[in-house]
Amino acid sequence: MATLPTYFSDYLKNIRMTDSQVQECKTGHETLRKRLEEDENLGPIIVDTFLQGSYKRNTAIRPAGEKGKSDVDVIVVTTLDRATETPDAALERFKPFLKKWYYGKYRKQGRSWGIELSYVDLDLVVTSAPSEAAKSYYKNFAALDVMANECDDDSWKTEPLWIPDRDANQWEKTHPIAQILKTREKNHATNGHYINVVKAIKWWRKALHPKPKYPKSYPLEHLIWTVCPYSIDSVAEGVVSAFERIRDDYRWCVESGGKPYLPDHGVPEHDVFARVSAEDFKGFYALACDAAEKARSAYDEEDKETSAEKWRELFGEKFPAPPKKKKSDETGLDGYTPRTAPSIIGGGRYA
């Protein structure tokens, strides 16, 4: 079998966010958070702000297409009382702030405010902390590692935040920290391969197979978390295993006309696939089955150049092509242009 670590390293380099894109995300979210904390009207009700989403979990890939932009989710923990504040009223509190700083660039969404800048998209997610203890923990949320590993009281782990669902006109639970911690845990257990498996499959989905529309974004990532084994030794093995488990574990769902139920981290009563239709999952499942066959063929191929060609068929032109055969001037025998230097697949950053 061919794991092709150098090829996969180059592939991941080609689909990761560029340094400039990372800096644009940093500029966008830091400016927003500073403005929020210094706002005379909102400052008194803000407990803390922190990041969530693929940018925070280090599972983000670069935008597909020349005009694509990266996106960052900013969680705002507030003292708002969900017992007396309606979801719409909670979101409306932030409208004057947005009008002041982001005039003509913001829009109200079902559960957040979207801010469209020329260089990055921001999601401003308003939440309410459930208890004074939780507020205290989030107030000291300067670094996730401190909060996760050094707190004597673990009660915060069982206390999700509450997010205003304007469409449903009710507050719903959300636990972004649990999502972050579960990602870190699995990535550590797989020697840093897990987040790269996520990125590899995300690009396959986003750039090569954008239809059906769902599952995408976090639901897709959560599905990969569910099917990717802990025992993988390479990105290649993780990709093969993930696709084959989707094919094998969810065949019954498709055959019965249904879809999986995926409990969210920290809020198990929340189905991550709630908005994914059975029809969309059926279409995605067919793509995953085809990908499983191609990935297995590439993985089992002993000839490295042939294996690389097969992986490239699966992942597209971002996966490096093998060196072209050339005639040796001296012997007349076929040879290969050698790769100039090896690469190392990094575990990535956790900001």
Please pick, among 10, 19, 48, 73, the residue that the annotation labels catalytic.
73
Residue 116 and residue 113: Cα distance in Å, rounded?
10
Whether residue 39 lies in the annotated active site: no
Instruction: Map tokens 């409990």 to a residue.
Output: 263
Please pick, among 48, 71, 264, 280, the residue that the annotation labels catalytic.
71
Whether residue 153 lies in the annotated active site: no
Is the backbone of residue 276 left (phi > 0), alpha (psi -120 to 50) or beta?
beta
Residue 91 and residue 74: Cα distance in Å, rounded?
14
Alpha helices in the chain (DSSP H): 5-15, 19-38, 53-57, 87-92, 95-101, 132-139, 144-150, 176-189, 194-203, 217-227, 235-249, 251-255, 278-300, 304-315
Q: What backbone torsions phi and psi does residue 320 show, to the nearest 5 degrees?
A: -65, 140
Supply 155's token pair: 């009660």
Distances (CA, A) of 277 to 30, 183, 226, 246: 36, 25, 19, 16
Residue 311 near residue 319 (C-beta atoms within 8 A): yes
Please pick, among 48, 121, 123, 264, the residue that the annotation labels catalytic.
123
Whether residue 303 lies in the annotated active site: no
Q: Is 307 helix (H, G, I), strand (E, B) or coil?
A: helix
Distances (CA, A) of 324 to 95, 312, 321, 336: 58, 14, 8, 6
Question: Catalytic residues, which ones?
Answer: 71, 73, 123
